[in-house]
Amino acid sequence: MATTTAPTARAYPSSRSWIYEWLTTTDHKKIGVLYMTTAFTFFMLGGLMALGIRTELAVPGLQFIQPELYNQLFSMHAITMIFLFVMPMFVGMGNYIVPIQIGAADMAFPRINALSYWMIPMGGLLIVGAFAFGGSPVGWTMYAPLSVVEPARGVDLLLMGLVLLGTSSILGAINFMATIFKMRAPGMTLMRMPMFVWVTLVTSVLLLFALPVLTSGLIMLFIDRNYGGGFFDPALGGNPVLWQHVFWFFGHPEVYILILPAFGIVSEILPVFSRKPLFGYKAFVFATASIGALGFSVWAHHMFTTGAVFLPFFSFFTFLIAVPTGIKFFNWLATMWGGQLRFDTPMLFAVGFISLFLIGGLDGAFLAVVPFDFMVQDTYWVVSHIHYVLVAGSVFAIFAALFYWFPKITGAKLDERLGKIQFWLLFIGTNVAFFPQHLLGLDGMIRRVADYAPNTGWTELNLLSTVGAFMIAASVLPFMWNVFITMRGPRDAGDDPWDANTLEWATTSPPPAYNFDVLPPVRSERPLFDLKHGTVAAHAAAVPAAAGQTHGELREDAPEERLGEPVEGHEDASGETRGAGAEVSAEAPDATPAAGSDAPDLTEATRQDTEKPRKPGEPG
């Protein structure tokens, strides 16, 4: 195999402490780890808020939490989980994995990448600090005019914190788009990118168009509260429904911002543990792009009962957006069908995601039916729906990704036995916690209430839901213990413990400073599979990447040639250009030749062929 090894960067002694290195780093891998650890910290905080909410609702009457504090808890729980857990967690995974998957050395703008991260804990501190100033008892949607007239100063801290988080996401989206468009490895065309890269790209586009709208609305609301702007305050001639339009124009694309990365993670894991390529790769790409485009056409289905929107239009598009999502489900099932399934922990979480997210999608389709939406508006049916989407969706995918990529990040595999215990606790707890809420919603229980009458017949279902919430909390304990004992153990997972397909598994675990010493050739969406199974063994393209070089100025998108054919114009190790007549294997063998076998050494044969003297005029 013809490759070029990157020159070794000169090492300089450093007296800086490891804390200083982490606090000042611009390395995308360290920033990704910072994102993930910060997000998990806020996940624990948001989970404690959820336990407080469910403990209060377990039985009728006010037991532990007064209504004022209850309003603050459910408001801050939702904001914490959405803006400080799910979004930063997926951004952290993208930071670590996307540059390696496309063969880049780093993100396009490393310092802006660091700035984007440090806005997250700063915004989080402002939001959590709202508790010290009266909290933010206005709901996570912050509907006007309540959010305008609420006297608590904590609301202002919440608005400022969200503006910081929004600015961070906008900068991050621009950085991801520049990285994906300009820093892909040679041969990495758009239709050869891994699905996780594709969903990161579409998510970045959604962020770039949706978040400026929300950020502008937050600034307008701050002006209304402090300077009498009159945007949303009807006493000053403002329009409260305008805030709902502004919020949900961001809010519904936000649903796909939170779930599209989960789709990409599942699409990376299923082929690896099914031993098959992803079924319908191009259809999956176009379905992802369709969801991104249609996501901006359905925001007002959250506003059916306002009387201010055209119901048939938004009902139709709400049904229509289910079509590309259905394509993904069929592709996932077809990928597994007939495969050699291995139910390691990442695969368990991926299959759990598919089964539970289907429930969330179907009960969301019910809400597209206008009469049904009128009936269950502001009931626990809506609470169940959003939690089946974000807990059964995003959280299951996050844990699938953590188990899948943990060996790449640390060099050690998490314990499978503890992983399976965690999965079943989370899977059962999710259904026990949220399925009864469908029944509560159909029976008329309103959300956002701290108490209910004892004669309503809701006590048993609420108690069951609370038991499920504590099961979900208990499922996190095996994970934390798993990480603790794994990090204290040997780092012997190897570079590719899952026998995977994409470029991140072609480098060491953890990767070196600039990710690759040798960059494999890219001739399909599964470059590592091609490399391991002989498809490109006889014509690997040399990639002259020096330490610190990003390949951005070297990349030229290769044509869509078939596997088993050489690439004209690529140079081999001797510096000679190989033409289209080079002999290669038409079919990929099952594996590369084992040591001691009689199979020919393709690398040696290629070297001898390039060194063989040629007659004058003979083509090289």
**Per-residue pLDDT tens digits for 78-100:** 999 999 999 999 999 999 999 99
Residue 465 annotated to the active site: no
More confident residue, 209 or 549: 209
Q: At residue 105, does pLDDT exceed 70?
A: yes
Token code pair at residue 360: 């969330």
Report residue 446: phi and psi, to 5°: -80, 140
199-202 contacts at long range (C-beta below 8 A, 24 or more positions apart): 199/260, 199/261, 199/263, 199/264, 199/267, 199/288, 200/94, 200/98, 200/176, 200/261, 200/264, 201/176, 201/177, 202/260, 202/288, 202/289, 202/291, 202/292
Q: At residue 357, does pLDDT exceed 70?
A: yes
Residue 77 annotated to the active site: yes
Angle at 524 between CA 394 and CA 349, to 5 degrees: 20
pLDDT at res. 363? 87
Angle at 132 between CA 236 and CA 220, to 5 degrees: 25
Q: Which of 486, 556, 476 is nearest to 522 (CA)?
A: 556
Please pick, among 116, 267, 318, 384, the residue that the annotation labels catalytic. 267
Tell me the average pLDDT of the chain. Answer: 85
Q: Which residues contact 233 (CB under 8 A, 6 or more apart)?
A: 144, 145, 148, 149, 224, 240
% the chain with pLDDT above 70: 84
Residue 318 annotated to the active site: no
Q: At residue 576, does pLDDT exceed 70?
A: no
pLDDT per position as a tens digit, 508-529: 999 998 898 888 889 888 999 8
pLDDT at res. 492? 87
pLDDT at res. 133? 87
- The Cα 175–Cα 261 span in angstroms is 16
Helix (H, G, I), strand (E, B) or coil at 577: strand
Report residue 538: phi and psi, to 5°: -95, -5
pLDDT per position as a tens digit, 424-456: 999 999 999 999 999 999 999 999 999 999 999
Q: What is the mean pLDDT of residues 234-247?
A: 92
Sign of CA dihedral 436, 419, 407, 504: negative
Confidence at 15, pLDDT banded by 50, 70, 90 = low
Please pick, among 30, 245, 252, 570, the residue that the annotation labels catalytic. 252
Neighbour tally for 600: CB within 10 Å:
10
Question: Contact, 404 vs 268, CB < 8 A?
Answer: yes
Confidence at 135, pLDDT banded by 50, 70, 90 = confident
Residue 268 annotated to the active site: no
Please pick, among 4, 147, 169, 465, the residue that the annotation labels catalytic. 169
- The Cα 200–Cα 257 span in angstroms is 9
Q: Which residues contact 603 (CB under 8 A, 6 or more apart)?
A: 1, 537
Neighbour tally for 485: CB within 10 Å:
12
Question: Contact, 587 vs 530, CB < 8 A?
Answer: no
Question: Contact, 413 vs 497, CB < 8 A?
Answer: yes
Please pick, among 256, 299, 332, 381, the residue that the annotation labels catalytic. 256
Q: At residue 605, does pLDDT exceed 50?
A: no
Please pick, among 35, 80, 96, 106, the residue that the annotation labels catalytic. 106
Please pick, among 4, 168, 200, 394, the residue that the annotation labels catalytic. 168
pLDDT at res. 534? 67
Q: At residue 174, does pLDDT exceed 60?
A: yes
Please pick, among 302, 413, 438, 555, the residue that the annotation labels catalytic. 302
Confidence at 570, pLDDT banded by 50, 70, 90 = very low
For the structural domain made of 32-488, what CATH number should be given? 1.20.210.10
What is the 8-class DSSP label of residue 540? P
More confident residue, 581 or 164: 164
- The Cα 551–Cα 188 span in angstroms is 11
Q: Which residues contact 182 (CB under 8 A, 6 or more apart)?
A: 108, 552, 555
Residue 328 annotated to the active site: yes
Question: Contact, 524 vs 194, CB < 8 A?
Answer: no
Query: pTM, whole model, 2 decimals?
Result: 0.84
Confidence at 535, pLDDT banded by 50, 70, 90 = low
Please pick, among 254, 268, 504, 530, the residue that the annotation labels catalytic. 254
Question: Minimum mean pLDDT among 173-182, 248-257, 270-279, 600-609: which range?
Answer: 600-609
Question: Minimum mean pLDDT among 33-47, 324-338, 389-403, 572-586: which range?
Answer: 572-586
Q: At residue 60, does pLDDT exceed 50?
A: yes
Bridge partner residues of 577 (DSSP): 571
- The Cα 325–Cα 287 span in angstroms is 7
Q: At residue 326, does pLDDT exceed 80?
A: yes
Instruction: Name the residue ranges covered by the structural domains of the chain.
Output: 32-488, 523-609
Residue 143 annotated to the active site: no
Neighbour tally for 191: CB within 10 Å:
13
Residue 267 annotated to the active site: yes
Residue 140 annotated to the active site: yes
Residue 17 annotated to the active site: no
